[in-house]
A and B are shown apart, each in its own frame.
Chain A
Amino acid sequence: MEHPARETLVSYLYDELDGSASEDVRHHIAECDACHAEIEGWRRVVEFLGEDQAPSMRSRPAVGLWRAAQIAAAALIVFATGLVIGWSSRHDAQALNQAVAGLREELGSSVRNSVIRSLEPELARRIDARVAERVPEVVSAQLEGTLPGAVDAQVQQARSEVEGILRDGYARDVRRLANYTIHAADQRTNASLVAFAEAFNASRLEDRQALIDWLRRAEQDRADELQIVRQDMTALAALTGDELTRTRQQIARLIAYAAPSEGAGEPSYRSHDAQKGQ
C-alpha cells in the first residue's frame, strides 16, 4: 500500500474513515515507520490539546464571587489580626470598631460588586430585548422622514462621481485612441513614402535606361542615314561624272559635226566655242 495522503491520516486520527479504509490505514501505519511517526506525533499533539480545558464560561460572575471570597478571607485575617493586636496591646474598642467598619465596608463593596456582576447578563438580555423591541420602530419612523432626501442626495453624489469617473475615463480613452491613430497614420505615411521613393527610383532608372536605348537607336539611325547619303552622294557623283563625260563627248561630237560645213553657210559653233574659250 502506498503512503496514505495526509488528509487521509487526519481522517484516520479523528476516526472519520469508514471501516475498511480505517483498517487499511491501520495496517499501513503498523508497517511504515514514517507514517507511524507522523501519526504518533499528531496523537501526542491531540493529547496535549486535551489538557487545555476551557474554564466555565460563566466565568465572570464566578470570578467575581471568587474575588469576593478572597477579599473576605483577607479581611477576616486582618480582622483577626486586629483583634489579636488589640487584645495584646490592650487598646480599647476604638481600633476594633474601626477594623470592623473597614471590614464591613470592604465586604459590602465586594458583595455589591459580585451581585452587580451576576446580574449583568440578565440585565444585558433585558436591555437587548427592550432595544430590539423599541429601536426598530423609532429608527424606521425617523428614517421614513429623512431617508428619501438622504437617498436622493447619495444617489446624486454617486451619479456625479460616476459621471466624473466616466468623463475622465472617456477623455483618457479618446487621447489614447488619438495617439494610437496618429502613430498608426505616421507609420502608414512613412511606409507610403518609402514605397513611393522606391518606385520613383525604379522609374527613374527605368527612364534613364530607356533614354539611353533611344539615343543609341537614334545614333544608329543617323549613322545609317549618313551611310545612305554617302552612298547616294557617291552614286550622284558617279552619275554626274558620267554625265559630264557624255556631255563633253557630245559637245566634241557636235564640234566634230560642225567642222566639215565650216564656211558653207552652215552655222559655226567653233567660233562661238572659241570665243567662249577666249
Chain B
Amino acid sequence: MEDGSEKGFAALVERWREPIQRLCARMVGDWHVGEDLAQDVFTQLYLSRSTFRGESSLSTFVWRIAVNRCRNELRRASRSVVELPGDEAIEEPASASAAPDMAVVGAERQQIVRDALQRLPEHLRVVVVLRHYEDLKCREVAEVLDIPEGTVKSRMAEALTRLARMLPDPAEPPSRGERQSEGR
C-alpha cells in the first residue's frame, strides 16, 4: 500500500478483509452491517493511503481506521449501550439451566455471549474485541486506541468483571486443595 499501487491495495484487502469484518460485526452486533462497514473501511483506507507515513505499523493504521468507523456508526445509529447498574443491583443473568439439548444450549450460550458483549459500553467492548477476539497484545491495543497500556488492561479487567456478572453462574469453584495443586 505504501507505493499506492492497486496490486498492493488488493493484497491488503485480501489480508485484512476477514479481521476487519469480524471487528466491525462484533462492534455493532450485526454481521451484515459489519460487512458494509468493512467495505467503508477499505474505501477509507484507499482514500487515505497517502496519509500513511509509516509512523505506526500498517496493522495499527488499519485497525485504527476500522475502530473509528465503528465508533462513527455506533454514534450515528445512536445505539445506546445499556449500562450495568452498580454492584448493589446486579442484573440477573440469563439462565442456562433449562436447556438439556446440547446443541440448543450451545446456540443459547453463543447468543448470550453476543448479547452480553453488546451491553458493554463501547470503550470496553472495543478492548475485549481487539484483545480477545483479534488476539492483539495489550500494547498493540493501546497503540490502536492511542491510550496507555495500563488503561487497556484496567478496561479489560472492568469488561471481564462486568461480563462475569452478566453471564450465567459458574459451577462450584474448585476446592483449596485443587487450587494448591494448580498453583504448583
Contacts and interface: CB of A to CB of B under 8 A. Distances in A.
- Quick one: which of A11, A30, A31, A48 has the most chain B CB within 10 A? A48
B13 A125 contact: yes
Interface stretch (A38-46, A76-84, A159-167, A182-190): A38-46
A232 B175 CA distance: 136
A44 B153 contact: no
A30 B157 contact: no
B85 to A, nearest CB: 18
Contacts of A16: 137-138
A57 B116 CA distance: 22
Given A9-B157, A57-B21, A45 B131 contact: no
Nearest to A30: B183
Interface residues of B, number: 46
B95 interface: no
A30 B137 CA distance: 26
Main SS at interface, chain B = helix
A13 B43 CA distance: 37
Nearest to A44: B170
Contacts of B167: 44-45, 48
Interface in A14-72: 14, 16, 26-27, 29-31, 36-38, 40-42, 44-46, 48-49, 51-55, 57, 59-60
A41 B161 contact: yes
B164 A54 contact: no
B109 interface: yes
Closest 9 CB pairs of A and B: A30-B183, A7-B153, A41-B164, A6-B157, A57-B18, A57-B21, A52-B113, A42-B160, A10-B153
Interface of A: 6-11, 13-14, 16, 26-27, 29-31, 36-38, 40-42, 44-46, 48-49, 51-55, 57, 59-60, 124-125, 128-129, 132-133
